[in-house]
Amino acid sequence: MIIAVFKEKCPEECRVALVPSTAASLAQAGHQVVIESSAGLSAGYRDEEYAHAGAQIEADRSRLFERCEVLLMVRGPGINPQQGAIDLSRLRSDHIIIAFFNPLMHPQPVQELAATGVTAFALELIPRISRAQSMDALSSMASLAGYKGVLLAANALPKIFPLMMTAAGSLMPAKVFVIGAGVTGLQACATAKRMGAIVSAYDIRPAVKDQVRSVGAEFVEFELTTQDAEDRHGYAKSQSDEFYRRQREAMTKVLAENDVVIATAGVPGKKAPVLISEEMVGHMAPGSVIIDLVAELGGNCVLTRPGETVHYKGVTILGPVNLASSVAFHASQMLAKNVASLLDHLVDVDKHLVINMKEVITLNTLLCKDGRITNQRVLETLGQ
């Protein structure tokens, strides 16, 4: 197959869908890899590295669409505000796209994408099963967000994280509380612990208690009844408004005892639950920091503003977006391996793409084909 890798046009998107090492692997497997000129530059990968890996360099973006069969992007045309409309007009029904599309939060653009007749696979929809772990790009990026979120917290906090013995006396370690123990939260726990903080975490899923403890954090438990806390995809499920009200009451004291709160609780395809009220922030000590890592989903804190820093009664609230892009070199490495694994899963021994709708990974990840949306979760989001 002729595989094309495009330069990202979204604002502040520095990642690239394929790095030279994975391009080399695909070329050695018999595929022809074509890279748009400077596609990897913002992530730290030069055109010369791709060429040395066996890829061709194409300066003309429209020509790249004409030449290729498989399109690899970080953000698909439907969620690209700058180049999206132009790229949509260049799509053909024989094109195959693998990218992030955010179809559960923004399903309407998927209808425009489907209308082009392309075959599209959404990286967000890869199921959380053992066979698909090597393809799980969402978890890869979430892990990086957890890591980087702790660094942002350490930078904003007017304290140091570790216990430090000095000639002026002992400096006590910072206390970090993580809300949500998914991939992002567990990485945040592990990173804060490595930096010397006293770390605790909470999740509505009691089953993650051992995972929290395995990364060196204490698991905080509230006297709340949690039923059906996890869906069949391995994600936390939405709870009732009454549950979230009682949860906020129980959490108020814990927040006041910590220097840093890292919020990571999100439900795929839905607005993030508001777990931190204005009143709860008001009980926190001046100088405390909240890092809301689900700001793009609306935020766990009612005061969060995506992409902005808010100050409220001495508390700093950060709502970073697209954190994985801020560590684009390694984010691109991880993403490229995820994409290459998915490609390997989809092709047969003759290197032709095969869509087997009876196979669970293909069935769940396929977004649209032959002019229609095929993914059941997206159709349900659209009310179809």
CB distance 195 to 187 below 8 Å: no
Determine the Cα–Cα distance for residues 135 and 309; give it in Å rounded to an integer: 33
Whether 377 is catalytic is no
Catalytic residue among 67, 128, 194, 246: 128
Catalytic residue among 82, 93, 108, 133: 133
CB distance 35 to 57 below 8 Å: yes
The DSSP bridge pattern shows strands 56-58 and 32-36 to be: parallel
Could you tell me which of 312, 384, 382, 337 has the C-alpha nearest to residue 105?
382
| Amino acid type, 229 | A
Whether 93 is catalytic is no
| Amino acid type, 167 | A
Task: Copy the structure tokens of residue 353.
Answer: 């793409």
**How many other CB atoms are there within 10 angstroms of residue 90's CB atom?**
16
Task: Copy the structure tokens of residue 34.
Answer: 């074509």
Whether 128 is catalytic is yes
**How many other CB atoms are there within 10 angstroms of residue 49's CB atom?**
17
Whether 210 is catalytic is no
Catalytic residue among 47, 87, 136, 259: 136
Catalytic residue among 67, 134, 235, 312: 235
Whether 56 is catalytic is no
Task: Copy the structure tokens of residue 163.
Answer: 């216990």
Catalytic residue among 139, 325, 332, 341: 139
CB distance 120 to 113 below 8 Å: yes
Q: List the catalytic residues.
A: 128, 133, 136, 139, 235
